[in-house]
Structure 1
């Protein structure tokens, strides 16, 4: 089994439709046309047969491990931290969606992936078996052009090899503390002003302002001034 590692691109956080945490995320496990640190290039369509077989039930879904299962020396190393819920090829590469397990290691990975000001885990990687490839014919070509790949596992990892395939979205709880941080950091409110917004709710604030609350009128004017001062 070989591996190809890719960076995160962007992390976003939102509750699901029911407002519950799903600890789910999506992105790209691999991209096409990019030479990785090992010298390989994945061609479009390389995953198509494997994905068709997975959806037909003749191939097993790849596991979701942490750091490729480490040294693969213990049961914990090889215990999945979640499941992949969708795999597909598009014009960019291998698009993946997954959900982390509500276990200590799953929650730990989720926490690391959503850290601020940057994620502590900032890569994804595929473990695969190359089924078909073309070797290079001269020194300035990729070492191999991979034409057909079977996936064994896909892992969140710390250190990437391929810098172009990335996680694009992470879903989870958006807490009151997150909202307060957003209001104070991005909207420029004080903590006391942020707590008014949180405690009263936006629609209630509008109604109270329109009903003649001078405190809220002053608050809205302060927000407008701060927003106008932000460079566009």
Structure 2
């Protein structure tokens, strides 16, 4: 495994278990100021447990889309990679400071601007839909087969069989050479 993964760290318009609802554009200023390199990847929000780096963070129509890479030189990251690959771990959670929020009906709070500090891989995300995408093993297998076909030497026709009882191969006339 190479430690790469993608997913959504936050979904727009979906209340989390703490009754916060993230508004589209809430991450824009923070992402512009820090970029992916300025946001830490942690395990369970523990600052003593950095486990990799974010390759890209961007808002799309659904939420905060992430692509990350676990640092497989770190023991915890190797463990997390194994758990991700087998489907035992798939939660993501954001660590942030609220910049601007508005109260909403039903006791909800609309987060309009967020200062994003870190995104953690977690066992139980506060926003239940914030998940790492399941690895697409089918396309990986197809990619590997295609690569093997490209790397394989060209196939040569099999020589005629000399087994007893085999039928001789059709004999075609040799192409004639013409010189002008």
Q: TM-score, normalised by structure 2?
A: 0.71
Count of aligned pairs:
151
**In 1: Cα distance, 2:25 partner to 2:95 partner:** 17
Offset of 1:78 from its aligned partner?
1.4
Which digits, 9 at most, give the CA deviation of each residue in 1:162-221, with x for residues without a partner?
22232226599xxxxx97xx9xxxxxxxxxxxxxxx9xx6687x958x749xxxxxxxxx
Q: Identify the structure with bigger relative contact order (alpha carbons < 8 Å, sequence gap 6+).
A: 1
After TM superposition, the structure 1 = structure 2 runs for residues 113-124 of structure 1, keeping only pairs within 5 Å, are 113-115=84-86, 119-124=87-92
Q: TM-score, normalised by structure 1?
A: 0.56
**In 2: Cα distance, 1:156 partner to 1:48 partner:** 22
**In 2: Cα distance, 1:54 partner to 1:159 partner:** 26
Q: Which has the larger radius of gyration?
A: 2
Residue 3 (structure 2) pairs with residue 35 (structure 1): no
Match of 1:99 in 2: 69
Whose strand fraction is larger, Structure 1's or Structure 2's? 2
Mark the runs of 5 or more structure 1 residues left unpaired by the alignment: 1-20, 70-76, 173-177, 183-197, 213-232
Runs of 4+ in 1 over 3 A off after TM superposition: 169-172, 201-204
Mark the runs of 5 or more structure 2 residues left unpaired by the alignment: 160-180
Aligned-residue CA RMSD (Å): 3.2
Whose helix fraction is larger, Structure 1's or Structure 2's? 1
Match of 2:43 in 1: 66
Of 96, 116, 138, 1:151 maps to: 116
